[in-house]
A and B are shown apart, each in its own frame.
Chain A
Amino acid sequence: MNPEHLKKITRRHFFGRTACGIGSVALSSLFDPKLFAQEKPPHFAPKAKRIIYLFMAGAPSQLDLFDFKPKLVQYDGQPVPQDVIQGERFAFIKGTPTLLGSPHEFARHGQSGAEISVLLPHLASIADDVSFVRSLHTTQFNHAPGQIYMNTGHQVIGRPSAGAWLTYGLGTENKDLPGFVVLLSGTSQPDGGKSCWGSGFLPTVYQGVEFRSQGDPVLFLSNPKGVAPETRRRSLDLLNDLNRAHLEDVGDPEIATRIASYEMAYRMQSSVPELTDITSEPQAIHEMYGTEPGKPSFANNCLLARRLVERGVRFVQLYHRGWDTHGASNNEDIVNKLASLCRETDRAAAALVKDLKQRGLLKSTIVMWGGEFGRTPMNENRSGSKFLGRDHHPRAFTMWLAGGGIQPGVTVGKTDDIGYNIAEEPVSVHDLHATILHLMGIDHTKLTYRFQGRDFRLTDVGGEVVKKLVA
């Protein structure tokens, strides 16, 4: 009995009818929630096929990295004008804070002349390959809802993440691997927890699968002690044999799917360790990324991300937690801590872009880097702390993107003289999502799923494609 054939004739379960949410589009015809999501056609010819999202959880300081404000340096230590912060609610700042000029130098790089902080020398070396959005804004000023908003387009947990939506819409190019993989590094998991890569009300087959840096890369991938690969093979042979006999008795095609999924699990037992083992990479690559095999790091994850997209994984998301530089202590200020975070991440992130480019993969892969919100132009000065730091700032922050149909070397948007408000070309989180979906060949208004009586979208009821970003 051919399981592939059976799968086609039986898409049972909820999808048979509820997929009509996406109905008017070609996408629905090939839906199959079983196994890992199968490849499906986009709405129109895509510029990008894969995404690597470097999520800098904790919110990096845009004013010390990308959005240089000479005026802040000039008026450093002066109280912020009252009318600017009238009625504003901050996470920690109390009273009238003072302006804080960046303690770090900036310089212009590449033909695009992008202004980048000295803390990011490797990013500076690829200035002409990347584009900056300096006018991103969000509605949230606390980490967990901020990260959830950035990932799902809504601040309350429960909606599908962008990766889940994309896997739902497009499936994966490699049917032996999940379409959406998550890699973690930094001080801890992101504040939003696993909801950041959850599938919300979409089937769980679309959720991000965490590849862990210690122990089994995928949970329960290894056989228990005493169970050799040969033993596992024999037990699967017996299992499949019994399942097949039962399939003949009861005729439920779902059994054929189960046999196929156990076989795929067996294949993953060898393909995933092969994929996550970076020792086979040449020395030059290790030097480029700054990777040390066996030592979990953001750099290792960047290299893994390349290996994943090479194998057709649709959406790879890296989280690096630790950018929450309030200045309440020595360990989280914008002088020392920010510099050390940049050392941990800059080289590998730039290496990833260069490496994808030299392999011809950058054209079809979007690399994006950013956090859940920005940081204030004012010194937070928590309880009179003398460490320099900035509070959470949802009104304006910066993200960079490269590859996958992104117009290289452009800067979208502009903030005011002190970087408090957006002056030109605001980009909302929904706009960003709409743009990403557009590059992947999806009309964001048509990627819908019916739940609790209405159609839901990643972009909720908003979202405009940012034309300037599209090559």
Chain B
Amino acid sequence: MLLEALPHESLPRGGPGRDPYGNFFLSEFHAEVVGNGRAEPVLLLEPKADDGRINERKFKQLWTVDASRDEQRMARRIVFPAEPFGASGDVLRIRIVQRSEFGGQGLGHFRLSVTNAAEPARVAGISPKLRPLLEVPEASRTEDQRRSLAEFYRRIAPSLEPARERLREARKEMDGLGITSTLIIREAASFERPSATIRIRGVFTSKGETVHAGTPAVLGPLAETDMPNRLGLARWLVSPENPLTARVTINRIWEQYFGTGIVETSGDFGSQGHPPSHPELLDWLATEFIARKWSLKEMHRLIVTSATYRQSSAATPALVERDPYNRLLARGPRFRVEAEMIRDLALAASGLLSPKIGGPSVFPYQPEGIWDMPFSDDKWVESTGEDRYRRGLYTFVRRTAPYPSMLTFDAPSREFCTVRRVRTNTPLQALTTLNDPAFFEAAQALARRILAEGGPDDRSRAIQGFRLTVSRPPKPGELDRILGGLEKERAWFAAHPGDAKELGGAETAAWTMISNVLLNLDETLTKE
């Protein structure tokens, strides 16, 4: 069946539709065949339009046409192929439904025809722009017209099918090779010094002066013998005259272990930063770093085996009073771990953690609707298998819609380069580790693990659960509390079989709630 929408001078702007712009919206097309006093619907196949848009998702209309441009004001065809139907003498009844948001957008002028030709949909393959060319006698076609038609014919010519098939195969094979292309930056050999234009206050349309590669004047120049390129910069960074690289690096490592750097403002060693709390220590560590041939591994070992790092983090009220921030290091560090590690801890304790290293970022569970962005159809498609349980640092980051539970735990959205993260303690964090399905799943897995590996009785199981979450056996008081809690959970779930069933049976449910508590202990979330 062929429906043709035709322009007409009586229609707004010449048609083919009735809306003020000459467009129309077609929502439904039905056909039935009437014979022997019975009406049978005709089974229609996928319609094919020559140019109008079939777009069900966005506008909810089957077919729309954009006739707002004059050059597009021409007849449009839409073909509805059908399963064989009816017999000679039957009546074909066609029903067209037109719905639109604003009304008055019906077809203005149209024609219906029916054929029994094979593959009628191919008619629609010829675009409205090519159709008039076919009506031009071959001899009087221009070179351009001939070329357009030949180009079109090569795409459908049966004799070229083997060639097209070979091309498709080759393309598929190439895709199958999984070749990833990686962009690299390489300095171009040039007689001109590379330069960049300053954009005033970061506005890309307002250009300032042109600058050339170099080092900040306050930090000293490159060596006379070095070029202002990457090699020159590397040499400058590690030159004996430059103490900053080693100091800044060591300070950052220190900050990771102690929660605060020797220079508290680890991103700022300049005049606006804080002076170091232990300047001699910083310089000693920096010179050791250089003496040990810039080996990070040796420096990590040096710090973690130091008496300072190995102190207990317990504090007396007097000590808290005198040095609330522990800048003088009279006790060991104690601070809540970073966002990514909060996830890693729960996964590791529960046994879910995948140890896989590297590869593309992954998509663990994330609530619906976080990625609902304009001009983007990107979807957060949850990873499957072990990729659901990878370390936090492999979680995909989108700056305008960051992973919510990490953001709640102070992970920056990576809009700015952030050397030092702040650390907050909020109810939203509590809700995350208590209820986020990703964390509750870890509690359920921990419960299963405790039941499977935790030995014969409640006592041994509670000890196992405690060790898995805080890396030490519980004290007697703590063990009593956990066992007391377990009894209460058992009693509740025995009396509430519906709840118990949701959580995999009363015993698993009781241990799941205990695991949920263990994973939320301050000590679990804290490095001490």
Contacts and interface: CB of A to CB of B under 8 A. Distances in A.
Nearest to B418: A201
Interface stretch (B81-89, B127-135, B137-145, B366-374): B366-374
A239 B488 CA distance: 14
A84 interface: no
A239 to B, nearest CB: 5
Nearest to B375: A191
B269 to A, nearest CB: 9
Nearest to B398: A193
A385 B69 contact: yes
Contact of B416 (A13, A201, A257): A201
Contacts of B264: 14, 17
Contacts of A330: 19, 21, 23, 102
B227 interface: no
Contact of B481 (A143, A230, A238): A238
Given A238-B517, A264-B427, A231 B368 contact: no
Nearest to B424: A205
Interface string A361-389: 00000000000000000000001111100
Interface in B85-138: 101-102
A204 B408 contact: yes
Contacts of A195: 399-400, 413, 415
Contacts of A86: none
A214 B369 CA distance: 9
B401 A194 contact: yes
Contacts of A219: 367, 404-405, 408, 428, 431-432, 436
A364 to B, nearest CB: 26
Residue among A16, A243, A252, A329 with the most chain B CB within 10 A? A252
Contacts of B424: 33-34, 203-205
B426 interface: yes
Given A200-B415, A204-B424, A245-B481, A239 B431 contact: no
Contact of B203 (A35, A139, A336, A386): A139
Contacts, number: 263
A444 to B, nearest CB: 18
Residue among A35, A154, A261 with the most chain B CB within 10 A? A261
B313 interface: yes
A10 interface: yes
A10 B324 contact: yes
A33 B320 CA distance: 19
Residue among A14, A198, A226, A450 with the most chain B CB within 10 A? A226
Given A204-B408, A234-B492, A228 B521 contact: no
B316 A251 contact: yes
A56 to B, nearest CB: 14
B41 interface: no
Contacts of B478: 242, 245
A157 B399 contact: yes
B517 A384 contact: no
Determine the interface band of chain B, counting residues with CB < 8 A from chain A. Answer: 35 or more
Given A154-B202, A195-B399, A249-B314, A453 B334 contact: no
Contacts of A228: 492, 496, 499
A23 interface: no
Contacts of A225: 502
B415 A242 contact: no
A231 B499 CA distance: 10
A280 interface: no
B461 interface: no
A252 B407 contact: no
Contacts of A95: none
Interface string B26-65: 0000000000000000000000000000000001000000
B521 A203 contact: no
Contacts of A35: 425-427
Contacts of B464: none
B425 A235 contact: no
A187 B374 CA distance: 8
19 contacts: A9-B321, A16-B325, A156-B202, A156-B415, A158-B415, A194-B413, A216-B367, A218-B428, A221-B431, A234-B485, A235-B516, A239-B521, A241-B481, A242-B481, A252-B528, A265-B431, A383-B69, A453-B270, A454-B272
Task: Please give me the 3 A-B residue pairs with the lowest Cβ-Cβ distance, nearest first.
Answer: A193-B400, A226-B502, A158-B415
Given A204-B424, A384-B69, 18 more contacts: A14-B423, A16-B325, A156-B202, A156-B415, A215-B368, A218-B431, A226-B501, A226-B509, A227-B513, A228-B492, A234-B488, A242-B478, A243-B522, A254-B335, A258-B525, A262-B430, A262-B520, A452-B416
Interface of B: 13, 19, 21, 23, 59, 66, 68-70, 101-102, 201-203, 205, 264-265, 267-268, 270, 272-274, 313-317, 319-321, 324-325, 334-336, 367-369, 372-375, 399-402, 404-405, 407-408, 410, 413, 415-416, 418, 420, 422-432, 434-437, 440, 475, 477-478, 481-482, 484-485, 488-489, 492, 496, 498-503, 509, 513-514, 516-517, 520-523, 525-526, 528
